[in-house]
Amino acid sequence: QQQVKQSPQSLIVQKGGISIINCAYENTAFDYFPWYQQFPGKGPALLIAIRPDVSEKKEGRFTISFNKSAKQFSLHIMDSQPGDSATYFCAASRGSTLGRLYFGRGTQLTVWP
């Protein structure tokens, strides 16, 4: 059973556009929601994370929007660049410390120049 559902599976965006990736979860005990970026042949790299006490977190061109009542969160990449082309994973964990991560299936983002 997939604890975190991610969509779309793949996304093609023009350079300068906005990339939006969505995730949904069922377990209300989840209290930490990170996004990871993975390039081919590399390990996932932590991009940005949010806790449910805030509805939005922004770091540079990357923004997480969080809707606790809908149990959904999304990643927005503003001014998308070809260098952003990678696979993005959302994840969730329960318990504030040392919790295992439940990952979405990933979104392969391609940004055309």
Partner 1 sequence: DSGVTQTPKHLITATGQRVTLRCSPRSGDLSVYWYQQSLDQGLQFLIQYYNGEERAKGNILERFSAQQFPDLHSELNLSSLELGDSALYFCASSERTEYNEQFFGPGTRLTVL
Contacts with partner 1 by CB under 8 A lie at 32, 34, 36, 42-46, 49, 51, 89, 93, 95-106
**Smaller CB separation from partner 1, 62 or 106:** 106
Query: CB of residue 64 vs partner 1: minimum separation in angstroms?
Result: 13
**Smaller CB separation from partner 1, 68 or 100:** 100
Q: How many helices (H) and strands (E) does the chain have?
A: 0, 11
Would you mind telling me the total number of residues written for the chain in this entry? 113
Query: CB of residue 105 vs partner 1: minimum separation in angstroms?
Result: 5
Query: CB of residue 32 vs partner 1: minimum separation in angstroms?
Result: 5
Q: Which of 4, 17, 2 is nearest to 93 (CA)?
A: 4
**Smaller CB separation from partner 1, 44 or 85:** 44
**Smaller CB separation from partner 1, 44 or 80:** 44
Q: Which of 2, 6, 4 is nearest to 87 (CA)?
A: 6
Separation CA 48–CA 36 (nearest Å): 7
Give the burial class of 109: count Cβ atoms within 10 A of its Cβ; 0-12 exposed, 13-18 middle, 19 or more buried: buried
Query: CB of residue 107 vs partner 1: minimum separation in angstroms?
Result: 12
